[in-house]
């Protein structure tokens, strides 16, 4: 038993890979257990061992000798094909392969230390990523549309804009009239007369006077209204029955609603003739009005036409074929006869157009040989005139309504 233990100790000292207790030989079992079984089997059969084991002289230490001249002979106990243990002085092939793999991994570890412990490295990388995610700055909270609008109108610094545009936004006059005032020398900027409408000014910093009256450094907010226009009212200014006169009561109480802010200059988006009723948009946003009314937008508008006399199929075909207005062929997008109403015998037609030319719907109906009794606009883009909005009444639009005005009905 003592002899087998000494052999195992000598084998372990031969190479570092065998110093670990879990090192396995080619037979698939751990070295100490194999040696113990070999010693126990030898003692059970006979008192004398099956073979003699001799050891080389001990290797001198590094301090006494730089390196031994010859490698000591170390016995290896392996199990043969017949299942019996035997002793050999050469390393088994499996052990040689394990030593070669260990040395190769050690060389790779010196070149790239990260590859020596792949599992630990991957874990450390994952931990770093988790820490980075935790340490990432939190995105600022998303404010509501009302909060962003208030910030843009009251807190954020304004950018320089053209003088004529600033005067129109301040409610002095329309952009064209503001340009005329500038050309006439009635506008001063920082004490000097300015005759160029393209001059860039900052209303929050520059001192602007028109006819001796100073312009407020605050601009009125952008306003959008949907009005149910009654017959007999026109879209231009300076008349007794102007559409803007329907907002007189609203503007009289402006100082209570917006103290210290100048009154907005309202105008209509597009026009409806004096005999046409229905939906019209009123605002003080010139860019929005230009976008909605420009022909390139192709925003559809729906009208309900009440005609005198009977309407036949030939009339509908004639309307759908279109007609020339100011030398341009205008063709409607939709022509449809509506169901008859019980309180009237007159026929109603639904006509959808996108050109937006002056008296376009009336010209289409007249060209088909019909007479218009009443004309009402009920839709612009995707926004439809509210059914509960009385004649001559208006309602302020929300952001969703404003967006629906800029797109066609799906």
| Residues designated catalytic | 273
Instruction: Count how many residues are written for the chain.
Output: 410
- Tell how far CA 35 is from the center of its chain: 72
- Tell how far CA 27 is from the center of its chain: 65
Two tokens, residue 76: 């290896």
161 half-sphere exposure, CB direction, 13 A CA radius: 15
For the residues of 30-47, what is the DSSP string, one character each? BHHHHHHHHHHHHHHH-S
Q: Rounded CA gap, 158 and 202, in Å?
A: 7
Q: Rounded CA gap, 110 and 100, in Å?
A: 16
Please answer whether residues 167 and 201 qualify as being in contact, where contact means their C-beta atoms are separated by less than 8 angstroms.
no
Closest by CA to 38, choosing from 6, 13, 14, is 6
Specify the DSSP class assigned to residue 92: P
Q: Rounded CA gap, 404 and 281, in Å?
A: 12
Please answer whether residues 205 and 159 qualify as being in contact, where contact means their C-beta atoms are separated by less than 8 angstroms.
no
**Cβ neighbours for 303, distance < 8 A, ≥ 6 positions apart:** 278, 350, 351, 352, 353, 361, 375, 376, 377, 378
Burial class (CB in 10 A: 0-12, 13-18, 19+), 188: middle
Q: Rounded CA gap, 98 and 101, in Å?
A: 5
Phi, then psi, of 279 in degrees rounded to 5 = -75, 130
Q: Rounded CA gap, 338 and 348, in Å?
A: 5
């Amino acid at each position: 038993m003592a002899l087998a233990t000494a052999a195992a100790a000598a084998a372990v000292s031969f190479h570092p890979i065998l110093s670990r207790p879990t090192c396995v030989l080619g037979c698939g079992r751990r070295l100490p257990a194999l040696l113990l079984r070999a010693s126990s089997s030898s003692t059970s059969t006979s008192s004398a061992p099956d073979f003699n084991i001799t050891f080389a002289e001990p290797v001198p230490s590094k301090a006494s000798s730089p390196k031994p001249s010859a490698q000591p002979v170390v016995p290896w106990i392996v199990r043969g094909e017949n299942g019996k243990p035997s002793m050999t002085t050469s390393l088994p092939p499996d052990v040689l392969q394990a030593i070669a793999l260990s040395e190769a991994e050690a060389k790779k570890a010196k070149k790239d230390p990260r590859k020596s412990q792949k599992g630990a490295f991957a874990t450390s990388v994952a931990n770093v990523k988790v820490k980075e995610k935790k340490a990432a700055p939190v995105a600022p909270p998303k404010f509501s549309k009302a909060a962003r609008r208030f910030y843009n109108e009251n807190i954020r610094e304004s950018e320089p804009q053209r003088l004529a545009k600033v005067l129109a936004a301040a409610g002095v006059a329309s952009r064209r009239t503001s340009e005329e005032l500038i050309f006439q020398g009635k506008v001063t900027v920082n004490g000097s007369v300015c005759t160029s409408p393209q001059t860039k000014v900052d209303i929050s910093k520059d001192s602007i006077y028109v006819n001796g009256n100073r312009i407020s450094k605050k601009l009125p907010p952008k306003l959008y209204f949907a009005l149910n226009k009654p017959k007999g009212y026109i879209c231009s200014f300076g008349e007794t029955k102007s559409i803007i006169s329907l907002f007189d009561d609203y503007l009289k109480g402006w100082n209570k609603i917006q103290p210290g802010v100048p009154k907005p200059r309202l105008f209509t988006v597009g026009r409806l003739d004096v005999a046409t009723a229905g939906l019209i948009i009123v605002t003080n946003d010139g860019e929005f009005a230009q976008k909605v009314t420009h022909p390139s937008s192709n925003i559809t508008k729906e009208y309900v036409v009440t005609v005198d006399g009977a309407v036949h199929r030939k009339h509908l075909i004639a309307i759908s074929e279109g007609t020339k207005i100011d030398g341009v062929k205008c063709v409607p997008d939709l022509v449809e006869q509506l169901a008859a109403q019980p309180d009237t015998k007159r026929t109603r037609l639904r006509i959808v157009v996108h050109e937006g030319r002056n008296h376009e719907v009336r010209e289409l109906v007249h060209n088909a040989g019909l007479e218009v009794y009443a004309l009402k606009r009920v839709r612009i883009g995707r926004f439809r005139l509210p059914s509960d909005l009385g004649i001559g009444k208006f309602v302020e639009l929300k952001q969703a309504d404003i967006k629906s005005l800029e797109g066609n009905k799906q």
